[in-house]
Amino acid sequence: MLGIMAALALAVALPFVVSGYRVFQFTMVLDYAIAVFGANILTGYNGQIALGNGAFYAIGAYTVAILMTHAGMPYWATIPIAAGTCFVAGFLFGLPALRLEGPYLALTTFALAVATPQLLKYHGIESWTGGVQGILFDKPDAPAGVPLNSDQFLYLFCLFVTVIMFVLGANLLRGRTGRAIIAIRDNPTAAAGMGIDTSLYKSLTFGVSALFTGVAGALGAIVTQFVSPDSFTLFLSISFIVGVVIGGVATVSGAFFGALFVEFVPNYADQISKAAPWAIYGALLIAFMYAMPTGVVGLLRLIVRRIDPQWAIRKDAGKQ
């Protein structure tokens, strides 16, 4: 608890100590953290491998862009709508995905990720989506009377949404529903035997994951004020799953470590080698998997356990 408060205090202070572009980068970190958490709910906690969450990120982003430009809605009001739309989309995609296990689901969602830019470019919906060009819209300013520049304001707005999403998500996973979600991952037959409606829960988890990703997409669109089909490539979907695994599968705090990797490592790779930045990125990715196969949080836990073997036991005792 103390750790969380300290981290939050640090996060609030951040936009006042770093420069404008860094504020934008950290805003994106928060945004990716929500998306990575969403992917982790599905992949880490429920055991359904999702490689296509970029599609839901795109749906969230486009919902915001279309509502703001066509319906003239204020930016904050579009987020709940984006969340609802993505929940429904995720739930519906989850229905056929129910019957799929391991690699099959990975394949289906992989295909979804590859097809997303093409679907967004489809000329039948061009009057809404702006086709290849996408949609450009205005940057929201801080409300009148608030002494913040728009970057700082957007950062704090994202932080606010991030806190809400993580509190909701962590509570969901801690409660009865969360236990059901995890039970389905660990032993579907036993879970069904305990009276859990596994197919309903799996589809719902798909919906919830899509909802989180959609909120992240909505925030991402507001922060960059631009959506276009080519921002939602396979690579975006892959980034989320990279974030999940780098941070730590089935951990809540891992999302932030994963998001830091997703946002900053491509930049550093670019600084190391202008010619082949993604080769550096890929090599780093593989190196990370060798060094910490259970992610950053997994490594941290291992270290804590080395230093203080009783830690995990005390932590569990404290919960009761």
Partner 1 sequence: MQAFLHQLLSGIATGGIYASLALALVMIHQATHHINFAQGELAMFATYIAWTLVQAGVPYWAAFVLTLVFAFALGVFLQNVVLRPVQNAPFFSVVIVFIGLLVIFNSLAGWIFTYTVKTFPSPFPIRAWYGSNYLSPHEVGMTAVTLVVLVLVFAFFRFTNLGLAMRGAAQNPAASRLVGISVGRMLALGAGLAGAIGAVAGIMAAPILYLEPNMMSGILLYGLAGAVLGGIDNPWGAALGGVMVGVLENLAGAYVVGTELKLSVALLVIIFVLLFKPSGLFGRSIVVRV
Among 13, 146, 168, 279, binds partner 1 (CB under 8 A): 279
Contact between 27 and 155 under an 8 Å Cβ cutoff? The reply is: yes
Q: Does 174 sit near partner 1 (CB under 8 A)?
A: no
Closest contact distance (angstroms) between CB of 152 and partner 1 is: 34
- Give the residue with the Cβ less far from partner 1, 112 or 222: 112
Which region, judged by CB under 8 A, interacts with partner 1, from 20-28, 84-92, 112-120, 222-230?
A: 112-120
Q: Does 175 sit near partner 1 (CB under 8 A)?
A: no
Among 56, 155, 256, 281, binds partner 1 (CB under 8 A): 281
Q: Does 10 sit near partner 1 (CB under 8 A)?
A: no
Among 79, 181, 236, 238, binds partner 1 (CB under 8 A): 238
* Cα pseudo-dihedral 244, 78, 118, 48, rounded to 10: 30
Which residues, numbered 286-315, are part of the site for partner 1 (CB under 8 A)? Answer: 286, 288-290, 293-294
Q: Which of 131, 156, 135, 172 is nearest to 38 (CA)?
A: 172
Residue 225 DSSP symbol: T
- Give the residue with the Cβ less far from partner 1, 82 or 238: 238
- Give the residue with the Cβ less far from partner 1, 79 or 241: 241
Q: Does 268 sit near partner 1 (CB under 8 A)?
A: no
Closest contact distance (angstroms) between CB of 20 and partner 1 is: 30
**Terminal alpha carbon distance of the chain:** 15
DSSP per position, 248-302: -TT-STHHHHHHHHHHHHHHHHHHH-SS-HHHHHHHHHHHHHHH-TTHHHHHHHH
Q: Does 103 sit near partner 1 (CB under 8 A)?
A: yes
Among 241, 255, 260, 262, binds partner 1 (CB under 8 A): 241
Which region, judged by CB under 8 A, interacts with partner 1, from 14-22, 101-109, 198-206, 304-312?
A: 101-109
Q: How far is CA 131 from CA 54, 171, 220, in A?
A: 18, 39, 19
Q: Does 123 sit near partner 1 (CB under 8 A)?
A: yes
CA dist 202 and 177 (Å) reads 11
- Give the residue with the Cβ less far from partner 1, 92 or 142: 92
Which region, judged by CB under 8 A, interacts with partner 1, from 76-84, 116-124, 196-204, 213-221?
A: 116-124
Closest contact distance (angstroms) between CB of 111 and partner 1 is: 4
Which residue type does 303 have? I
Q: Does 127 sit near partner 1 (CB under 8 A)?
A: no
Q: Which of 207, 201, 206 is nearest to 84 (CA)?
A: 207
Closest contact distance (angstroms) between CB of 93 and partner 1 is: 9
- Give burial (CB, 10 Å; 0-12/13-18/19+) of 66: buried
CA angle 135, 225, 151 (to 5 degrees): 175
Q: Does 132 sit near partner 1 (CB under 8 A)?
A: no
CA dist 161 and 156 (Å) reads 9
Contact between 85 and 60 under an 8 Å Cβ cutoff? The reply is: yes
- Three-state SS at 88: helix
Which residues, numbered 189-208, are part of the site for partner 1 (CB under 8 A)? Answer: 189
CA dist 86 and 210 (Å) reads 5
Binding residues for partner 1, rule: CB under 8 A, are: 43, 49, 96-97, 99-100, 102-104, 106-108, 110-112, 114-115, 118-119, 121-123, 189, 234, 238, 241-242, 244-246, 249, 275-279, 281-283, 285-286, 288-290, 293-294
